[in-house]
Chains A and B, each alone.
Chain A
Amino acid sequence: MIKEIREPLIFEISEAGKRAAELPALDVPETENLLAGAPLRRELEGFPEVSETEITRHFTRLSQKNYCVDLGLYPLGSCTMKYNPKINERLSAHPAFAASHPLASADLVQGNLEVLKKLEGFLCEIAGMDAFTLQPAAGAHGELTGMMLIRAALEARGNARKYVLIPDSAHGTNPSSAHICGYMVKEIKSNENGTIDLASLAQEMTDEVAALMVTNPNTLGVFESDICRIAEIVHAKGGLVYMDGANMNALTGVVRPGDMGIDVLHINLHKTFSTPHGGGGPGSGPVGVKKELMPFLPVPVIAEKGGRYVLDFDRPRSIGRVRAYFGNFSVIVRALCYILTLGPKGVREIAEFAVLNANYIRKSLEGEYHLKYATASLHECVFSDKFQKEFGVTNLDIAKRLIDYGVHPPTMSFPLIVHGALMIEPTETESRRDLDHFIEAMKAIAKEAKEDPEVLHAAPHVTYVSRLDEVAAAKFPVLRWEKKA
């Protein structure tokens, strides 16, 4: 990485008359008074003018200012930054898929419908659910869809109810998704093990509560061992259980949400099923349901009729569409390819190796970093900066210093129940060498925290930019380039 060379904005290198693309000459007779009656713009004011060489250099240089999974360990907790298989990129761009139009009639896109139907079936088997919709475009979109399904099912029973219970360890999207679905949120406290406190759940679970949203394993990486009892408590009062499947990577082939009392869940294909995060999307958040909720699934539902796939729109109790067309199709193709590559044994190995790697890190760093909860954890572990605070070093300093050691920082300051959290999820694809490098870096930083805290406060030292002033960014927002007057 060439640290010192600053890459300008494309607008700053633009010069009138340059271009990076030529079009063929128009091959139809020109119509005069084109678009008569519609106001046309004189020019695309501010749009850049550069050559193809400059485009290629600009984006290649910018790419070198990013850290990524292809470069090394990316242990963001609850984000499941695993390796993205390259063949899935190639096959998702297969011309037969890439060129197919979403409004084409079903008889012309049987292959696409087969992809969707197959993945639905695989996810049903892996999650132990009765049906899936692949329409949601991301995890949070899946949550929203799932809560809409719950609302519709409860309305059908006669009362949509008012509240949704969410543990204090949950992802921020959970309360937000419940709210957009018209529910008020009540928080459930965690107990000393970091899991849901059954007594407070039983107390809060009234006949005004629509659902419990649970993440299992939770954001501490801890499995809710009482999950069956939890589901019983909710079901006994006529509520439904929603599971945030963000942490499904710990469970594949080992235990299925559908077998532990879960009524609805979403899965992140861009976590458990290896599709790339793309610097913030596109993702895909399929939602699985049990039988009772199937009539409410978004339209269209793909059905089989006489050996052909057809689109079923005749679903009067459906919540409707949550997105145009069929979801993030090429992401779905990648996930299908991944499951076909892994097979039954490989899918179980996801969980096995993810849990082994996380526990290896946990054991290796215990004592160096504070572990608030002693409870056994699965695919991730949450340390805090409590020991380092004594020397004035925070989790932010530790995270930024890790960058100097060539590793991406873990998730910080989350879950909220651990103050100064460092939430580490290595995933199953990492080598011993990369895991050990991370462990050694964390140990070295713990040592530096005692001996030379200044070096941590000023970290990172090797990057294109040093720490950025986020307060100023929010206080005096500059959100676009503008031509200097």
Chain B
Amino acid sequence: MSYLSLSDKDKAEMLARTGAAKIDDLFCCIPEAIQLMRPLDLPPAQSELELVRTIDAVGRKNSYVGHLSFLGGGAYDHFIPTVVDYLSSRGEFVSPYTPYQPEVSQGTLQIIFEFQTLVCQLTGLDIANASLYDGSTGVAEAVLMAHRVTSRDKVVLATSLHPQYREVVRTYIKNLGVTAVEVGFGPEGRIDAAALAKALDDKTAAVVYQSPNFFGVVEDVKALSDAAHGVKALSVAVVAEALSLGLLEAPGRLGADIATGEAQSLGLPLSFGGPYLGFMACKKDYLRQMPGRIAGETKDTEGRRGFVLTLATREQHIRREKATSNICTNQALCALRATIFMETLGKQGLRELAWQNAQKAAYAADRLASIRGVKKKFTGPFFNEFVIELPQPWAKVDAGLKAQGLVGGHGLGTDYRGLENAALVCVTELKTREEIDHLVRTLEEVLR
């Protein structure tokens, strides 16, 4: 194999130094009874050229990429400037470990520090960590954090929180004596305020809501935060479409105590769901309860500025079972991509990009709702995705659209009873007016 770097001569001399007669002797500490006495049943080794052909052939089985798609729902197709791929693929970024030796990791550490700063600026909160696995586990970590901060055992989850995020939260809390209750939505597509008021009590650790929510609708973050604070619970804002923060007011300025979510939108390809980029920011009061790695500024022996991983006493390698989280490796390279993306788009660009997304989605929603029998399901303000309701089950319409090479949206019937005729449609800057119009025309034909 070409990744091994020893010649036969090296091998023989090195073996001699170890005192072993042959390589198998180095494994003599493994009882023979359990050693594998046959070759592994794997396909024969492939050269690079053969591998390229193999993977090309597998890739061709993804007919999705030949479709014009309007899928969103937590994973968003955005333009990625060339500098993001170019710079983030440098070996100096791709091939180091976690920066445990700061003197030879200043590149990664300074970038994490810049990433933390950008996340604070986006969310309007005091501090941010170096990243978490993804949006779903970010929410689970935020729930556990609220549980630690408040010593309370109940969380209120909005039904309009991403269905898969809710599932992950339930998986995480099941064994910890924490319970979750769900609060539904009203005709605006926002959390049902009356139901929320009923669900809140002095056992509530947090109100966890997504904005823009799974239906694309922007929640009233201020009202939700006030409601949470009314029972001394934490207000946890989940943002699955991080780009929305280019335009929408920062959750931290509207009362959120913790903001967490998914930053895939900021320079990461769809890549069938991962790797993505979980982020978390919070008020500084909760710093000691924050999960995950954090980079901090300090000085070297000569007084020069440098960066280190800090506040490790929260973490598993020091605190072991008393740690704030078991997380160790996170998503550093994804955070690097997001940092390059955010700094490249910059102050003006990110806002314009967000604005264009909202404009295109607004145009698409109006055009789709002009089709006879089609209407916007919710009345609340939306960012770059929205729900349409059709006169027949989405599954049927979807099949008709696919036959025309279109993936028109994400059907909501599986996750929301009563929304069998509805679909979530996402329109980013990548969709041209012509493509939007094409969707409208094709849907019209399919419904005819």
Contact = CB atoms under 8 A, between A and B. Distances in A.
A200 interface: no
A391 interface: no
A26 interface: yes
A91 B52 contact: yes
Nearest to A228: B34
A31 B248 contact: no
Contact of A41 (B62, B247, B297): B247
A122 B62 contact: no
A64 interface: yes
A359 B316 CA distance: 30
A181 B175 contact: yes
Contacts of B296: 473-474, 477-479
Interface string A408-447: 1100001000000000000011111010000000000000
Contacts of A389: none
A11 B117 contact: yes
Contacts of A114: 58, 61
Interface string B395-415: 000100010000100100000
A294 interface: no
Contact of A67 (B69, B105, B133, B218): B105
Contact of A138 (B133, B222, B248, B305): B133
Interface in A69-125: 69-71, 74, 76, 79, 81-85, 87, 89, 91, 93-105, 107-112, 114-115, 122, 125
B60 to A, nearest CB: 7
A138 B328 contact: yes
Contacts of B35: 254-255
Interface stretch (A201-209, A233-241, A279-287, A448-456): A279-287
B222 to A, nearest CB: 7
A191 interface: no
B271 A100 contact: yes
Contact of B98 (A44, A107, A277, A399): A277
A91 B103 CA distance: 33
Contact of B346 (A47, A67, A81, A431): A47
B349 A468 contact: no
Between B104, B164, B297, the greatest number of chain A beta carbons within 10 A of the residue's beta carbon is seen for: B104
Interface stretch (B151-159, B193-201, B202-210, B355-363): B355-363
B329 A281 contact: yes
A60 B90 CA distance: 8
B433 A323 contact: no
A138 B121 CA distance: 28
A319 B101 contact: no
Nearest to B26: A355
Contacts of B135: 324
B341 to A, nearest CB: 9
A50 to B, nearest CB: 7
Interface residues of B, number: 203
Interface string A362-373: 111000000000
B371 interface: no
Given A91-B52, A103-B75, A280-B330, A31 B4 contact: no
B222 A39 contact: yes
Contacts of A139: 328-329
Given A63-B92, A176-B323, A341 B45 contact: yes
A95 B382 CA distance: 30
B274 A60 contact: no
Q: What are the 3 closest A-B residue pairs judged by CB atoms, nearest first?
A: A325-B273, A343-B45, A96-B59
A40 interface: yes
Contacts of A344: 39-42, 44-45
B311 A477 contact: yes
A480 B313 contact: no
Interface string B348-383: 111111011011101100100000000000001111
Contacts of B330: 138, 280-281
A424 to B, nearest CB: 14
A295 interface: no
Nearest to A318: B171
B325 A176 contact: yes
Contact of B92 (A28, A58, A66, A103): A66
B72 to A, nearest CB: 8
A283 B329 CA distance: 7
Between B269, B301, B348, the greatest number of chain A beta carbons within 10 A of the residue's beta carbon is seen for: B348
A467 B275 CA distance: 33
B425 interface: no
Given A125-B41, A228-B34, A431-B6, A148 B134 contact: no
Between A44, A46, A253, A360, the greatest number of chain B beta carbons within 10 A of the residue's beta carbon is seen for: A44
A31 B329 contact: no
A202 to B, nearest CB: 19
Contacts of A26: 356, 359-360
Given A104-B407, A148-B175, A175 B321 contact: yes
Given A45-B121, A81-B97, A36 B381 contact: yes
Between B26, B221, B316, the greatest number of chain A beta carbons within 10 A of the residue's beta carbon is seen for: B26
18 contacts: A21-B346, A45-B121, A55-B344, A59-B90, A66-B92, A97-B59, A137-B134, A182-B175, A227-B34, A259-B34, A279-B99, A281-B330, A281-B331, A329-B273, A339-B42, A346-B45, A348-B39, A468-B308
Contact of A102 (B63, B165, B273): B273
Contacts of A102: 74-75, 270, 272-274
Contacts of A460: 103-104
B176 A182 contact: yes
A324 B162 contact: yes
Nearest to A217: B29
Nearest to A216: B30
A438 to B, nearest CB: 13
A111 B59 contact: yes
